[in-house]
């Protein structure tokens, strides 16, 4: 079972920064990130996974909204860690492939083969405005551009053969130019002559992660990704997603095991179940309901400000999400949770605040480990993206309570192989000549 520590600022809970033990200003403090990385590495996690957003979010006066560049943070962390993978988010909608290829190849070199790129297409119009656009391109166009950019990035990474650097002091010959070739990429959205000016990655190329679950997102992931970060809260839905993604990988000529499926899990672990439930209740007590309601309205493409909080989600809500260019996969998850579990709007807001639609696991270390075992052994997950709701407290609780329970069940062991790709078991699936 693989484990990534996914860090959203000071935690995944909307009100996590208000908890008594939280340092509300720590998100821009490098010492906080160093402590987080070391805690995750010492706890045995395979990778540290940092998300990103390219805009100050709505309700920024009520919610932690600052976001430093994840690759800058990860580059700093590379020097104070030795084993843990370093996966950062970057958008194909606002970055050129040469910048992306160079940035993540550089991170891979300074970390000695531990880098990964989480590919996002972006859907927030606030991000579009920051880059001079009046609106985000439609969903289909964003994924078409993502494919074009990703193919160019991969080609740039592979423009160097592994033995291109000769560095022969005797002859004065540094580089074998026959082993460094232009890519001459001329796609529908981006062009790049290449080659890259950074040598071949220590792990052939950085790990590629992706989180889309729409039809276009699934097909994109099945074609390009090594790892899929998915929002699932129901075991049967997770099993269906897992089976579908493995089948899609096979249809793209890939070994199904070369595509790893990582559902998100929001763990609240405590010595007793009551203590865990009390902790969740404390987190939720700090939630500003108007803020979360505004966020849900944005996701669903519907104004819910006048809706009855103690009634079910109104009929038809979510139907306009495609027109609003929201994340289609997140919309489907939230609507399905509300309908399947018969939640009131208020209860759905609590779920959004605490788990963002992901599986919420509240209980003892053994309780949470049992849930993870069930998903892992029943064909729903190859690993998990662990999203601590309040940092660093809930990451520490997971390391102290859940990981020992997983180890006791022989489900998890620390892997000390040199590169992230090796530790994920993905090297054999990657051809040095290129996989696509």
Q: Cα separation of 207 and 422, whole Å?
A: 10
Instruction: Name the DSSP class of 53.
Output: -
Picking from 355, 326, 325, the residue whose alpha carbon sits closest to that of residue 343 is 355
Residue 308, burial from CB neighbour count under 10 angstroms (0-12, 13-18, 19+)? exposed
Alpha-helical runs (H) found in 286-344: 289-300, 328-341
**Token pair recorded at residue 429:** 């699936």
User: Is 291 assigned to a binding site?
Assistant: no
SS3 readout for 139-168: HHHHHHHHHHHHHHHHHHHCCECCCCEEEE
**Token pair recorded at residue 121:** 């297409």
User: Is 12 assigned to a binding site?
Assistant: no
* Backbone region of residue 132 per phi and psi (left: phi > 0; alpha: psi in -120 to 50; beta: other values): left
Q: What is the DSSP string of 164-180?
A: -EEEETTTTEEE-GGGB
Residue 103, burial from CB neighbour count under 10 angstroms (0-12, 13-18, 19+)? buried
Q: Cα separation of 404 and 369, whole Å?
A: 9
Q: Cα separation of 99 and 400, whole Å?
A: 39
Peptide bond into 195 cis (omega under 30): yes
Instruction: Name the DSSP class of 314.
Output: P
User: Is 89 assigned to a binding site?
Assistant: yes
Q: Are 420 and 115 in contact (CB under 8 A)?
A: yes
List the beta bridge partners of residue 156. Answer: none
Q: Cα separation of 85 and 106, whole Å?
A: 14
Q: Are 241 and 233 in contact (CB under 8 A)?
A: no
Q: Cα separation of 207 and 260, whole Å?
A: 11
User: Is 139 assigned to a binding site?
Assistant: yes
Q: Are 358 and 266 in contact (CB under 8 A)?
A: yes
Q: Cα separation of 304 and 293, whole Å?
A: 7
**Token pair recorded at residue 259:** 């595509």
Q: Cα separation of 37 and 49, whole Å?
A: 10
User: Is 109 assigned to a binding site?
Assistant: no
Q: Which residues are annotated as a binding site for FMN?
A: 52, 89, 139, 143, 214
Q: Which residues are annotated as a binding site?
A: 52, 89, 139, 143, 214
């Amino acid at each position: 079972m693989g484990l990534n520590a996914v860090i959203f600022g000071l935690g995944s809970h909307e009100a996590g920064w208000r908890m008594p033990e939280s340092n509300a200003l720590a998100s821009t403090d490098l010492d906080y990130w160093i402590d987080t990385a070391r805690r995750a590495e010492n706890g045995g996690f395979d990778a540290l996974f940092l998300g990103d957003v390219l805009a100050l979010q709505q309700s920024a006066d009520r919610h932690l909204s600052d976001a430093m560049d994840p690759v800058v943070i990860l580059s700093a962390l590379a020097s104070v860690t030795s084993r843990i993978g370093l996966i950062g988010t970057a958008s194909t909608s606002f970055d050129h492939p040469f910048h992306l290829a160079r940035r993540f190849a550089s991170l891979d070199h300074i970390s000695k083969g531990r880098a990964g790129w989480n590919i996002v297409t972006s859907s927030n119009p606030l991000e579009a405005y920051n880059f001079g656009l009046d609106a985000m391109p439609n969903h289909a166009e964003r994924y078409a551009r993502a494919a074009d950019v990703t193919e160019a990035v991969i080609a740039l990474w592979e423009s160097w053969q592994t033995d291109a650097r000769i560095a022969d002091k005797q002859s004065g010959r540094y580089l074998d130019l026959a082993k460094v070739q232009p890519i001459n990429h001329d796609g529908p959205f981006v062009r790049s002559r290449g080659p890259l000016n950074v040598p071949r990655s220590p792990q052939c190329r950085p790990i590629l992660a992706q989180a889309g679950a729409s039809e276009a997102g699934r097909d994109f992931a099945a074609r390009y990704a090594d790892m899929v970060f998915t929002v699932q809260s129901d075991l049967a839905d997770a099993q269906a997603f897992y089976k579908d993604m493995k089948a899609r990988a096979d249809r793209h000529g890939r070994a199904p095991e070369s595509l790893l499926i990582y559902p998100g899990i929001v763990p609240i672990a405590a010595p007793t179940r009551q203590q865990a439930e009390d902790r969740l209740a404390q987190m939720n007590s700090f939630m500003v309901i108007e803020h979360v309601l505004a966020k849900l309205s944005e996701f669903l493409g519907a104004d819910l400000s006048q809706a009855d909080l103690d009634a079910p989600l109104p009929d038809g809500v979510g139907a306009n999400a495609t027109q609003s260019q929201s994340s289609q996969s997140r919309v489907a998850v939230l609507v399905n949770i509300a309908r399947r579990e018969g939640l009131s709007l208020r209860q759905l807001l609590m779920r959004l605040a605490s788990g963002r639609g992901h599986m919420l696991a509240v209980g003892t270390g053994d309780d949470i480990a049992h849930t993870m075992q069930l998903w892992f052994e029943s064909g729903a997950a190859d690993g998990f993206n662990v999203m601590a709701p309040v940092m660093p407290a809930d990451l520490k609780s997971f390391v102290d309570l859940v990981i020992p329970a997983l180890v006791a069940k022989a489900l998890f062991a620390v892997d000390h192989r040199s590169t992230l790709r090796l530790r994920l078991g993905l090297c054999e699936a990657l051809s040095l000549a290129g996989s696509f």
